[in-house]
Amino acid sequence: MDPRTLQIIREITPAVAEHGETITKVFYDRMFAANPEVRRFFNAAHQHSGGQQRALASAIYAYFQNIDNPAVLGPAVELIVHKHASLGVKPEHYPIVGKHLLDAIAEVMGDAATDEVLAAVGEAYAFLADLMIAEEQKLYAQQAAAPGGWAGKRTFAVDRVVEESDVVCSFYLKPADGGATPEFLPGQYLTLHLDHPTTPTSPRNYSLSDRPGQDHLRISVKREPNLSPEAPAGLISNQLHDGVRAGDTLEIGPPCGTFTLDPATRDSATGDERPVVLLAGGIGVTPLLSMAKAWVARGVKAPLYLLQADRNARTRAFADEIAALAEGNDHITTRVRYSEPIDGDLDEPGADAGFVDRDLLSEWAPCDEADFYLCGPAAFMRSVAGELAALGVPAERVHYEFFGPKAEIAPATAGCPFAA
C-alpha cells in the first residue's frame, strides 16, 4: 500500500475504534437495504443480538491497528477464509461490502471522512479483499480436488437420526450419489443449506461430531428454545429436530474450519507427547468428541483429558461414547461436571457438581504443559479462558471455537462481515 495510505489509517484508527459499532450497524443497514440478495449470508439472530456488528468492528480495528504488519492477523484471516468458503462467498460480493463500508464511514465520521481518508480506507480494503479472494479460491480448489470432496453444495441422505439427550439429536449423513465420504480434520464443521418454510434463513454451520474415516458424516444439533420473530435463534435446529427423518436429503457444504486437532501430528512418530485437555460446555462437546475419537482411533499414546460440563444427565449427550474412550486406554481421562445435577447424576464415575473453575482445573488438568481446546457457550468460554489465564497457561496453548461471532471472546483477533 502507498505510504500515505498507511499513515492515514494509523491516524484514523482511534476514531474508528471509538465509533466502530456505530459504523458497522450503519453498514449492515445500508447494505441490506440496497443489496438484499446478500442477506442470505447472515444469521438474523446474530444481527439482532449485535454480536455480528461487534465482530466486524473488532475485525476492522484489528486490521487498522496492524496495518503496517497485517501478517500478524494470519490466523484470523484463515478463520474468516474458511467461514466465507462455508457460506459460498464469491469475489463479486466484495465490492458490495466495500461500497457500503465506505458509505457507512462517511455517514458516521462526517467531515472527518475526507476524500483522502475515504480513498485510503478504500485502498486498505481492496488490499485485504484481494488477499481474501485469493485464499478463498485456493480453498475452493482444494475442497473440490480432495478425495470425496466437492465445492459448493452436495446432496446427502439422512441415514438415521439418533436422540442423544432430551435436547440433542445426531444426524448420520451419507452421499446421496453413492460416492466417497470426504475426509476432514477433527474439529471441522459442515454447512447446512436448509430453507425454513416461513422465514428466510442463512446457512448454518454444525460441527462434525464423529471421527473421520467412516462411511458417514455426523452432525449433532441442540434444539434451541428461542423462536421469537425478533431474534430467531433455533429456527433451523427445531426444523431439524421436528421435520428431518431418515431418508430425507440435505444440501451440505464441504468440511471447513481451523479449530482442529490432527492426531497425526501427535502420535509416536512425531515424538510430541504433550498432553491435551479438551474442555466442553454443553453442545460444545461436538468438535471435541471428534478430536477425542480420532485420537483413540489413531492410537496416540500422549495423555488426553476430556471434561464435559452440562446441566444434568437429561441434557448431556454422548455419555456412553465418552465413557468408552477411556476403556482400555490408561492415558485417557474423562470427567463430567453438572451445574444442576438430578437424582443419580453424582453416582456416575467421574461426576461431580459445580462449574469449571480454577480449583478444578489446577487439581485435574496438567496446566503447566498441556494444550487446551475449549468449546461451549459464551459465558463458559469467557470463564474458562479467564481461569486458565489466571493459572498461568499461556495464550498460545489455548485454542477455542465459539458457536457464533468469535469477537465475543477475542475482540482483537476475529470477526468477519459474512458470518453464519
Q: Please identify every residue annotated as catalytic.
A: 94, 136
Residues in the chain: 420
Question: Under the phi-then-psi rule, with left for phi > 0, alpha for psi from -120 to 50, and beta for the rest, what region is 414?
Answer: beta
Region of 162 please: left (phi>0), alpha (psi -120 to 50) or beta: beta
Residue type, 212: P
Q: 10-46: b or e for each residue (b if 16 or more CB lie within 10 Å)?
A: eebbebbeebbbebbbbbbebbeeeeeebeebbbbbb
Measured from the Cβ of residue 396, the count of other Cβ atoms closer than 10 Å reads: 7
Burial class (CB in 10 A: 0-12, 13-18, 19+), 264: exposed
Give the residue from 258, 284, 262, 282 showing the smallest Cα distance to 413. Answer: 258
Q: What is the DSSP letter of 267?
A: S
| C-alpha cell belonging to residue 113 | 471522512
Residue type, 389: A
